[in-house]
Amino acid sequence: MKTIKGPAIFLAQFMGDKSPFNALEPICKWAASLGYVGVQIPTWEGRLIDLEKAAESKTYCDDLKGRVEACGVQITELSTHLQGQLVAVHPAYDLMFDAFAPPHLHGHPKARTEWAIQTLKNAARASRNLGLNAHVTFSGALIWHTVYPWPQRPAGLVEAAFKELANRWRPILDVFDECGVDLCYEIHPGEDLHDGVTFERFLEATGNHPRCHILYDPSHFVLQQLDYLQYIDFYHERIKMFHVKDAEFNPTGKSGVYGGYQGWVDRPGRFRSLGDGQVDFASIFSKLAQYDYDGWAVLEWECCIKDSEQGAREGAPFIADHIIKVTERAFDDFAGAAVDEALLRKIIGL
C-alpha cells in the first residue's frame, strides 16, 4: 500500500483582486502558512501561469517551480476545467460558455472549440515540462440537455454523441500519452461524463485509451445520490486525482435532486466546507489507501455558507488528519514463525 500525498489546495476559488490572492507568490505563501504542502493551479488564471509559455519552455517551467517551492509548497497538478468544457458545447449553452474563452472567440463556436483543443494539448506539454504526471479537466457535453429523456431520446443518439465526444478528445489524449501524463476527467453533473456509466461509455469510445482517467470528487456523487464508496471499488484503477470536497443532501416534500431552480443555500443538495457535510471521508481515505492511491489529496473549497478563508484554514488539518500513513508490516507479525518448507508441508498434511 501507498500513502496519499497532501494536504494540497486548488487555488481557483481563492483568486481575487486583493493580496495575497492576486499573485503567485503571495497566494502560495498564504497556502503554506495554513499547512498546505501543495497547490493545484488553474491554467486560465494568467496571474499564476502562462500556459503557452509553459508548453514551449522547460526553462520557464523550472523557474515557475522554483518560485512556487520557495514559498513552501509544490505544484501538484494543473487544471483546465474551463478550457476542457469548451471542447464540447451544445449550441444551447454557447452564450453562457463563451465567457470561458478569449473575447475574440465569442460568437465563433467552431474557432472556440479549436482553441480549446489546442489549449489542452498545451496543458499536456506544460505538465511534462513541470514534471507532473496527472492533469484535471472537464469533458464538456453534447447531450446533457437530454439527461432526463423527455421527449424520449431517439435510438442511437447516445452512441453518436459519445462517438463524437471521443473523436474530439482522442487526439488530446494521444498528446497526453506522448507526454507521459494522465488526463483525469472530473466526473461532474453538467458534463457528459457525470457518473460511472457515462465514464465507461466514453472510455470504450476512446478505445480504452491508457491516459483516460478520473478525478474523484465525492461531493458530486452525494448530490446525485450515487454510492461514492462503491465507486472507488469499481474505478480505483482509473482514479489518479482526488478533490476533497464535502456535500450534503437533505430532500424535502418540495424538492430533491433537481433542486427546483433554487439558489445553493435553499437546494436539498449543496456543497459544504470540509467536515460540515455528510461525506464519510474516513472510509474514502481508507479505501484509497487500500487500493494504493498515491496521488494528492487536494482541497476544493466550495460552500454556500462558510467563508472561503475559514474553509481553507480548517481544510489543511482536516485532510492531514485523514491521510493514513500505511503500515509496512502486518499487525500480527509478532505471532508469526520463520518460513520453513518442511513445516509448511506438514501443516497441509504432506
pLDDT digits (tens, 9 = 90+) for 226-253: 999 999 999 999 999 999 999 999 999 9
Three-state SS at 94 = helix
- Please give the radius of gyration of the chain, using alpha carbons only, rounded to the nearest integer: 22
pLDDT at 331: 59
pLDDT digits (tens, 9 = 90+) for 29-57: 999 999 999 999 999 999 999 999 999 99
All domains in the chain, ordered by first residue: 5-347 (3.20.20.150)
pLDDT at 81: 98
Interval 129-153 mean pLDDT: 97
Contact 2, 290 (CB under 8 A): no
Within 13 Å of residue 114, how many CA atoms lie on the same side as its CB? 6
pLDDT at 266: 97
pLDDT digits (tens, 9 = 90+) for 160-206: 999 999 999 999 999 999 999 999 999 999 999 999 999 999 999 99
Give percent helix, percent strand, percent coil of the chain, each to the nearest 5: 45, 15, 40
CA separation for the pair 214, 196 (Å, rounded): 10
Q: For residue 289, is pLDDT > 60? A: yes
**With bands split at pLDDT 50, 70 and 90, how would you rate the model's confidence at 338?**
confident
Q: For residue 283, is pLDDT > 60? A: yes
Interval 309-321 mean pLDDT: 98
Q: For residue 254, is pLDDT > 60? A: yes
Q: For residue 66, is pLDDT > 60? A: yes
pTM for this entry: 0.95
Interval 325-342 mean pLDDT: 72
pLDDT at 347: 87
pLDDT at 334: 55
State the average pLDDT for the chain. 96
pLDDT at 339: 76
Burial grade of 276 (CB within 10 A; 0-12, 13-18, 19 or more):
middle
pLDDT at 139: 98
